[in-house]
Structure 1
Amino acid sequence: MPFSKNLIIEGKHDRPILTDVFYDENSTRKPIVVFCHGYKGFKDWGAWDLMGKAFSEAGFLFIKFNFSHNGGTIKQPIDFPDLEAFGNNNYTKELDDLETIIDWVYDNTIFKTEGDLSNISLIGHSRGGGIVTIKAEEDNRIKKVISLAGVSSYGQRTSTTGDLDQWKKDGVKYVLNGRTKQQMPHFYQFYEDFIANEKRLTIKRAVTNLKIPYLIIHGEGDTSVLIKEACNLHKWNPKSQLEIIDGADHVFGAKHPWVENYIPHQLNEAIQIMVNFISASE
């Protein structure tokens, strides 16, 4: 199984996008899956590598990547050595990064022989669930989209939390990363960018207008993104498929680092649901 690790793709914002690709090299055109990590996430988190291998073994070409401003670097793609970049991230940059990856897929020879360019699906975890849904609604190259423990509103997380006047005055606010113990900066540009692009960044609008198959997977025990958000997404798009994983948390039983060589059973259940969803004929 060919496995390309840390490919460097040039982004639109003067920072590279590190990318991994998994596939079985057999000159058979495979459905293409692009996975987007979430907030305080990265492509090498936990069991995401094992998930990529599982999709490859199931007959897919699987791509995952670090958003250009997620806080990682080329030399240290895991965790957050570049907090300046993290603080300058925003939703529109992440949408630009995803578009760069989709364009790269279309322009790369290997995807024309090993991948099926007419069959591209997006998966987004947590905050990434909103990113993939917005992109899928506006990009007709995408055929299916999956929200994995995905959020239902960016507005609630951007404009209604904390003291906006103090944030503007200070130019930055901080959020503690409980795992790394870093104080993660959010520069005020994040709020300004959201307000300037609020219509586009309204997940409800994108979900309501989706014209392609849409799968929503959520853990019944998710305390980071509550299950009511999955119910909102499903309500806004009644044709969507909603799957609740009993007892699963926000990361479906995984953690970082994940040193085992097997996929936690709740994540494996989610993977099987995703595989079946993408494989099903419309």
Structure 2
Amino acid sequence: MSEQTLRSESFEIPLSGGLKVRGRVKTQENGVRKPVVVVAHGFRGFQDWGFWPDVTERFAEAGLYAVSFDFSRIAASEEGLNDARVAEASTLSQDVLDLGAVVRQLWQGQLPLGQEADPARIALLGHSRSGGSSIVFANENPELVGAVIVWNGGPGPVKASTDSDLTKVQLAVALDYESNPERFDITSRFSGLRQPALIVQGDRDSERLLEFVDKLKEIAPHQSYVSIQGADHTFGIAHPYEGSNERLDAAFEETVAFLKRTYPLK
């Protein structure tokens, strides 16, 4: 593929309450409708954190329509919305709303270069906490999303009662989770997925996440699981990005292989 055919364009989706989702599309512009991968960064990340610009470009080079975005809490913080609004924007409930805004824009053909995307072949890729958000959205909207990928993540936050020194954001996140126990029971949501899913987990990640993946294997053995040897929560990558490594490359290659099995390229 020549560099001239790879396009990158930004977008912004206004939401209620002064919130907004900002994102970017990367794809080959060749008039062929492509499978879509929507990349969702982790709780402490953003769309340009570390490996994401490289990974989304590689998805585009592999023949996919790659979408990255900042959850609305990022713009809320950057634009100086009050602390209460930023805290509300940081909840799992808002994450799911943000994902919905992006996916529905895809279905409506309103994202840049939309003629290159096939909305009938959408996969969500969530890292860290966004893995859980992606599972919830896919479970609730099987007609909109056809596959789910989780990189090193998935379970909900700890309960508010376990720490008396939570920040406003942490408290809002925990209370939102506790107010929606059935909705955010990620293991139950995962077991109920109609779509194929891939769990990519570094074997040097936190014990909590390793135990979570073991539980998923028990309740949904029909789904796909990959262990990346020697990989921590970010596959050994830091920000600013200094290049890939074999652990990130392995996660990427396993993901592309899963996407091509799920959505054969035309």
TM tier, smaller: 0.7 to 0.9
TM-score (norm 1): 0.83
- Compared CA separation, residues 71 and 114, structure 1 to 2 (3 A): closer
- Matched positions, count: 254
Q: Please, which of 119, 122, 130 is the counterpart of residue 121 of structure 2? A: 119
Q: Secondary structure at the match of 1:118?
A: strand
Q: Please, which of 134, 137, 159 is the counterpart of residue 135 of structure 1? A: 137
Deviation at 1:211, TM superposition (A): 1.2
Q: Please, which of 3, 25, 38 is the counterpart of residue 42 of structure 2? A: 38
Measure, in 1, the Cα distance between the counterparts of 2:206 and 2:49. Answer: 19
Deviation at 1:246, TM superposition (A): 0.4
Q: Report if aligned partners of 2:19, 2:75 keep a CA contact under 8 Å in 1.
A: no
Bigger shift: residues 269-278 or 105-114:
105-114
Q: Kindly report structure 1 stretches of 4+ aligned residues shifted beyond 6 Å.
A: none
Per the alignment, residue 229 of structure 1 pairs with 212
Q: Report if aligned partners of 1:219, 1:252 keep a CA contact under 8 Å in 2.
A: yes
Which has a greater percent of helix? 2
Per the alignment, residue 144 of structure 1 pairs with 147
Letter of the 2:146 partner, please give it: K
Measure, in 1, the Cα distance between the counterparts of 2:106 and 2:30. Answer: 18
Q: Secondary structure at the match of 2:247?
A: helix
Any gaps of 5 or more consecutive residues in structure 1?
76-80, 168-172, 175-184
Q: CA RMSD in A?
A: 2.2
Per the alignment, residue 92 of structure 1 pairs with 93
Measure, in 1, the Cα distance between the counterparts of 2:249 and 2:96. Answer: 27
Q: Secondary structure at the match of 1:69?
A: helix
Measure, in 2, the Cα distance between the counterparts of 1:2 and 1:161. Answer: 47
Letter of the 1:263 partner, please give it: S
Per the alignment, residue 195 of structure 2 pairs with 212
Deviation at 1:188, TM superposition (A): 3.9
Per-residue CA deviation, residues 25-51 of structure 1 (Å, 9 max, x unaligned), is: 001010001011111111111010000
- Compared CA separation, residues 46 and 29, structure 1 to 2 (3 A): same
TM-score (norm 2): 0.87
Bigger shift: residues 230-239 or 66-75:
66-75
Q: Secondary structure at the match of 1:275?
A: helix
- Compared CA separation, residues 72 and 221, structure 1 to 2 (3 A): farther
- Compared CA separation, residues 269 and 83, structure 1 to 2 (3 A): farther
Measure, in 2, the Cα distance between the counterparts of 1:70 and 1:158. Answer: 23
Letter of the 1:161 partner, please give it: T
Per-residue CA deviation, residues 38-69 of structure 1 (Å, 9 max, x unaligned), is: 11111111010000000000000011111101
Any gaps of 5 or more consecutive residues in structure 2?
1-5
Per-residue CA deviation, residues 66-111 of structure 1 (Å, 9 max, x unaligned), is: 1101466567xxxxx7782543321101100100010111122556
Q: Report if aligned partners of 2:21, 2:75 keep a CA contact under 8 Å in 1.
A: no
Q: Secondary structure at the match of 1:108?
A: coil
Q: Report if aligned partners of 1:216, 1:234 keep a CA contact under 8 Å in 2.
A: no
